[in-house]
Amino acid sequence: MRIAFLHIPKTAGQSIHHSLINLFPKDSICPARTNSALHKYAVSDLSRYRLFSGHLDWSIVKQSGPFDFVFTVLRDPLDRIFSFYFYLRKEAEIFQAEGKPLGAGMQAALQYTPEQYFSGGQAGMRRFLDNHYNNFYAYYFASGCYSGHSLLAKKFPPGSSELLHYAQCGLRELDGVYTLSNLHRLEADISSLTHKEIPQIHKANENKQVQPAARQKLLTDLSGSWDWRPTLNKMIATDEVLYKDFES
């Protein structure tokens, strides 16, 4: 049995990961949970692992051999952006207070204004941020890569029918696509597949939810005179269409 969980940031991934690792022997779980770690392995070395779970390029993982079950979880696109942004700001404040070095994303979230963060900044940082925020679902599933925006945006701009088509094709390759509102379906599918009971993921996630309206107000307060809505609406244009296919 081989399972791959394509963990998109801020989609209850930690709860899902901890449920999955209890189903496999430790030495059969791929230690790489980010691409920086994944890229240290040869594809031939990855074939020995039975569980992949993390922020990983599917284009690389799928080369390691056939899988019995590949899945991902989506979240309302705008709420995911809010959650990711404020998570990085909070982590950056903690790291700064403890004297720890800040990653690029944390540093930008803390030092940039919301306007700079979502629509400006230096070219290199803009590429990094667009890869993680600008219609992330669409570019990730169209390319299989976290750098999907950098790879495809010139050819398939946000909102284009071509981008939507290729993203839908990528999603159809997966065995399961879930949302935060139907995680109980994931629990049932994993239990049926492995014949083992797993913790209630949806219950663990419910305890951590913050109302999206609270984050919207906070972003508005931080933005001053800048209206974030037109920019962020463009950043979720294709993702919203994809999300609605799986929301119910």
The whole-angstrom distance between residue 241's C-alpha and the CA centroid of its chain comes to 17
With 0-12 / 13-18 / 19 or more C-beta atoms within 10 angstroms meaning exposed / middle / buried, residue 85 is buried
pLDDT interval class at 247 (50, 70, 90): confident
Mean pLDDT confidence for 156-184: 96
Q: What percent of the chain has pLDDT over 70?
A: 96
**50-105, pLDDT tens digit by residue?**
999 999 999 999 999 999 999 999 999 999 999 999 999 999 999 999 999 998 88
Query: How many whole angstroms separate alpha carbon 225 and alpha carbon 219?
Result: 11
- pLDDT at residue 235 above 80? yes
Q: pLDDT confidence of 201, banded at 50, 70, 90? A: confident
User: pLDDT category, 207, cuts 50, 70, 90?
Assistant: very low
200 band by pLDDT with thresholds 50, 70 and 90: confident
pLDDT at 213: 86
Q: Are 170 and 141 in contact (CB under 8 A)?
A: yes
Write the single-letter amino acid at 106: M
**Residues with Cβ < 8 Å from 88, sequence gap 6 or more?**
105, 106, 108, 109, 110
- Rounded mean pLDDT of 175-199? 91
Report the amino acid identity of residue 53: S
Range(s) of the chain covered by CATH 3.40.50: 3-75+174-206
CA-CA distance, 235 to 238, in Å (whole number)? 8
Mean pLDDT value across the chain: 93
The percent of residues in the chain predicted with pLDDT above 90, rounded, is: 87
Strand residues in 139-199 grouped as ranges (E): 176-179
Helix (H, G, I), strand (E, B) or coil at 17: helix
In this structure, of 28-42, 132-146, 207-221, the range with the lowest mean pLDDT score is 207-221
CA-closest candidate to residue 30, choices 48, 52, 61: 52
Strand order in the sheet with 69-74: 51-54, 3-6, 69-74, 176-179
Helix (H, G, I), strand (E, B) or coil at 74: strand
Q: Which fold has domain 3-75+174-206?
A: Rossmann fold (3.40.50)
The model's pTM is 0.93
For the segment 15-35, what is each residue's pLDDT rounded down to a tens digit? 999 999 999 999 999 999 999
Whole-angstrom Cα Rg for the chain: 18
| Identity of the residue numbered 64 | S
